[in-house]
Structure 1
Amino acid sequence: MADAAASCAEHPIATRPHSLIAIAAAILLAGCEQDTQAQTSQSRSLQDASFDFFVLSLSWSPSYCEIEGADANRQQCNSGRRHGFVVHGLWPQFERGWPEFCDSGEPERVPNELVSKTIDIMPSAGLIGHQWRKHGSCSGMSQADYFVVVRDAWNQVTIPDRFRNTRSDMTIDPDDVEAAFLEANPGLPSDGFATSCSGRYVSEVRICLDKALDFRSCEEVDRRACSIDDAAMPAPAR
């Protein structure tokens, strides 16, 4: 926020004397002030929101596609969609339990403009809409602000190299998945996330973040970790 304000203050257009440029400068600085106010308002609404922390759920997309088969969302799972870890959702969470399907005053439908800005990390319009209705509506934020925070949360996490550009199926101990995330993300506590399984497949990595999007411990999430020794992680479809 401070950097944004500084860049506005230092913009060269604000120092030129000509009247047209002065008008342009006034418009620029007003826009910067609005951006700063919006960021402040977003931060304040997060801190005041009636939940305790976030869970960023990262889905291993090939597992979802394999499990759902013909019922999988084709926008996400068509041949050539080489998705690995993607955002399943950003979930407001209590220390015990979580809220769902809240009355937010926002539309249920996510507009196409927001979908197009988000679909690179949440790879289907259906997923984006469902996650807003079930979880985003409980964040205390507008749709626009919520999906900004979803991307910020995604950017906080480094996907381990071994899970990027995967070309072959893997059988893996879920503890090794967690070890890879710990190594790739300094500051992530060992009790601050969990690998989840669906049947024999690694399905998700769920990472706990406070309202400032810093890593934090979360006992309830941690104890729901996958308990099988060998789990499947299919390669993305070619």
Structure 2
Amino acid sequence: MTNNRLRCLIISISIGLIVLFIVGAIIYLARQSERKTIDYDACPRPTQFATDYDFDYTKKNNEYRNTNSSIDYFRLSLSWSPTFCKAQANAKNLFQCQHSFGFIVHGLWPSTFKKGSSLHSHNSHPRNCRDEKPMPIEIIRKYFCMMPSENLMQGEWEKHGTCYWGKPEEYFEQIKSLHSKINMPNDIHEILNGESSSKRASIRQSFLKLNPELKSEHIDINIGNKGKTLKEIGFCYDRSFNHIACNQNM
């Protein structure tokens, strides 16, 4: 009888320890997941963030305000960082260009369809709907991996985010949600430096292979320099943030 009781006690203690281990592991993994979501510790950040990143469209050449256009779709634009940096005279002073970023988020843009047969320009889209104060540096730090520039983040929030979202956190969370669902190819450098007769087609295929939910028309690729230089890649969404064809909206 004593041996049975001892055996039961040992089994109970063992089960208790296993349960505690499992619960502890779940809590640890949950906290790790939350930490990664909030901090993005895998990417570089400046040792000192800028403090003068406010945006005022009235002081920018070629900027305008448009609060009258409808919002028919959204465009997530990803910039190819090497091309951007190559074109900047002050690239060595830009944090983005001091590190090996590939695609970065340029912005998420509320946009309007073409109306009838009228010409459709960039001025047709909603823009600079509200003048906002500089967002807290905590928001800059939280999403810096996606958009490694304080000025870029503040500018995109004011130029585009204010036309649909109430707070910068809502804007950048929507960007993060869409961006996180796109698997990025690792062979873009190889394609651009290779002998492919159509770099646009090769880049498109790389994205399609890694993202089976995408269709060819969901991806808009902006290439310049006679098809040699990748500038940006756009993904288009309806008002429920489901993929739609980009070409019909250009």
Over the residues paired in the alignment, what is the CA RMSD in angstroms?
Answer: 2.5
Q: CA shift at 1:144, angstroms?
A: 1.3
Which residue of 149, 167, 175 maps to 2:201? 175
Which residue of 90, 101, 124 maps to 2:108? 90
Please show how residues 66-85 of structure 1 align to structure 2 within 5 Å.
66-70=86-90, 74-78=94-98, 81-85=99-103
Q: CA shift at 1:187, angstroms?
A: 2.2
* 8 A contact 1:196–1:204 mirrored in 2: yes
Matched to 2:222, the amino acid is S
TM-score (norm 1): 0.63
Q: Sequence identity, in percent?
A: 29
For CA contacts below 8 A with separation 6 or more, give which structure has more relative contact order.
Answer: 1
Q: Aligned partners of 1:156, 1:213: CA distance in 2, in Å?
A: 12
Please show how residues 76-225 of structure 1 align to structure 2 within 5 Å.
76-78=96-98, 81-96=99-114, 97-103=124-130, 107-163=132-188, 170-171=193-194, 173-199=199-225, 200-221=228-249
Q: Aligned partners of 2:158, 2:148: CA distance in 1, in Å?
A: 17
Matched to 1:74, the amino acid is L
Task: Call closer, same or farther: CA 1:98–1:82 in 2, change over 3 Å.
Answer: same
Q: Aligned partners of 1:82, 1:101: CA distance in 2, in Å?
A: 31
Q: Aligned partners of 1:211, 1:92: CA distance in 2, in Å?
A: 9
Task: Call closer, same or farther: CA 1:137–1:182 in 2, change over 3 Å.
Answer: same
Matched to 2:239, the amino acid is K
Q: Which has the larger radius of gyration?
A: 2
Gaps of 5+ in 2: 1-69, 115-123
The number of residues matched between the two structures is 168
Q: Aligned partners of 1:108, 1:51: CA distance in 2, in Å?
A: 24
4+ runs deviating over 4 angstroms: 166-169
SS in 2 for 1:145: helix
CA offsets 1:15-74 (integer angstroms, 9 cap, x no match): xxxxxxxxxxxxxxxxxxxxxxxxxxxxxxxxxxx5122111011111100122325761
Which residue of 81, 106, 109 maps to 1:61? 81
TM-score (norm 2): 0.60
Matched to 2:105, the amino acid is V
Task: Call closer, same or farther: CA 1:150–1:61 in 2, change over 3 Å.
Answer: same
* 8 A contact 1:64–1:72 mirrored in 2: no
Q: Aligned partners of 2:216, 2:191: CA distance in 1, in Å?
A: 28
Q: Aligned partners of 2:190, 2:89: CA distance in 1, in Å?
A: 19
* 8 A contact 2:220–2:246 mirrored in 1: no
